[in-house]
Amino acid sequence: MLSRDGCYKRRQRLWQALGTACDWAVIADPQHLMYFANYYQSPFVFRSNDAGAILLLQAHGTSYLVADNLLEPFTARAYVDEVVAPIWYRGKEAAPHREAWLVRNALQILKAHEKSRIAVEFAQVPVGLVLGLRELVGHPDRLLDLDPVIRPLKRRKDPDELELLQRSMRAGAAAMRQAMQEVRPGMSELEVFYLVQRAAQAALGEQALVYGDFVSGPRCEQIGGPPTARTLRTGDLVLLDFSTVVYHYRADFANTFVCGAKPTTRQRDLFEACREALAAGERVLRAGAVARDVDRAVRGTLEAKHLGQHFPHHSGHGIGLGHPEPPYLVPGSDEVLLAGDVVTLEPGLYIPGVAGMRYERNYLVTDDGYRLLSHHPIQIEAGA
């Protein structure tokens, strides 16, 4: 979980970014409830079905988390001054509409306090809450959009965020190593996914969402996709690009290897080209670098080998609470990398009738370069 100190520092940065523009912030995005208050509700239990919560932050004042009684196991871990969790359902009477109940109780808190301007996550809060807030402040111009304020704040990762990201990476790396040891001809892509899911959760020590690309053979040439019942054959490439989500934070890395055989000369040549592109991107990866220049280093390496037409996607992107998130390492991005960004580099080659492969690592951007965060195998031969 995140730390109390980290959550409070992120709130301070939020108010600094808002300045004197408002006296309340209303937050409902599940990722941002975690980011600012360490509130996370497990998606694997019935209590969270159709459930949400609202964080009310008073400028330099009290913080409230509004939820309902079924979510108390999760609200107990939140770093707020007061939890408001009225009874919504207790298995004895019929329950009202859950989201409407949440909106009603959040508005009751705000009605009891002075307010002139309120910053709101328009993209996430229920419409009923927005309408109620408009009535409270008396004019639509007194509601400010929080989305463009929060978005840049999430770029620089705090130590407690890095710890969750590295937990995700350690679990994913363990799963990648196990897959490279145990994947065999005759297995289905779904069986490969189950293997990765079990290994990642075992390494993590708790239940977690695992998602990503699990493709093999000719399907690798189509960049990615969910696992299917397709059976792996001897000599197939297996492309694994997956994330293990730890309290909304997720790493994102990839490796492609040959199933049950040695790589062909052509496959090895393409692998070496991807590895050289990865190294080229690493050489320019540092705070102050422009995103398009990092992309140019990766893409240019493949173009120099007359392979550029087979690299159709981005060279990398930011990760953290989202996937992908800024900065975007693409030809048209003028975003500047910041110390504290966590990013990926992911060169790949997809040649119809020949091969499809991708190799991806995760990095913490620093003032003088980067720190490699992911430590999974980057190799085309099976076996960790």
Residue type, 293: D
Which residues 6+ apart lie within 8 Å of 96 measured at CB?
88
Nearest Cα to 38, choosing from 172, 162, 161?
A: 161
Higher-confidence residue of 20 and 350: namely 350
Rounded to the nearest integer, the mean pLDDT of the chain is 96
User: Does position 189 have pLDDT exceeding 70, yes or no?
Assistant: yes
User: Does position 101 have pLDDT exceeding 90, yes or no?
Assistant: yes
Rounded Cα distance between 378 and 78, Å, is: 38
pLDDT of the residue at 60: 81
Instruction: List residues bridging with 55 in a β-sheet.
Output: 27, 65
What are 39-93's pLDDT values in tens digits? 999 999 999 999 999 999 999 889 999 999 999 999 999 999 999 999 999 999 9
CB-CB neighbours of 380 under 10 Å: 23
* Least-confidence region, from 35-44, 136-145, 228-237, 348-357: 136-145
User: Does position 281 have pLDDT exceeding 80, yes or no?
Assistant: yes
User: Does position 315 have pLDDT exceeding 80, yes or no?
Assistant: yes
Nearest Cα to 358, choosing from 318, 297, 312?
A: 312
pLDDT of the residue at 384: 59
**pTM score:** 0.96
Rounded Cα distance between 126 and 122, Å, is: 8
User: Does position 135 have pLDDT exceeding 90, yes or no?
Assistant: yes
User: Does position 127 have pLDDT exceeding 90, yes or no?
Assistant: yes
What are 262-272's pLDDT values in tens digits? 999 999 999 99
Instruction: Give the tokens for residue 185.
Output: 């001809």
* Least-confidence region, from 3-7, 19-23, 130-134, 255-259: 19-23
Rounded Cα distance between 357 and 224, Å, is: 9
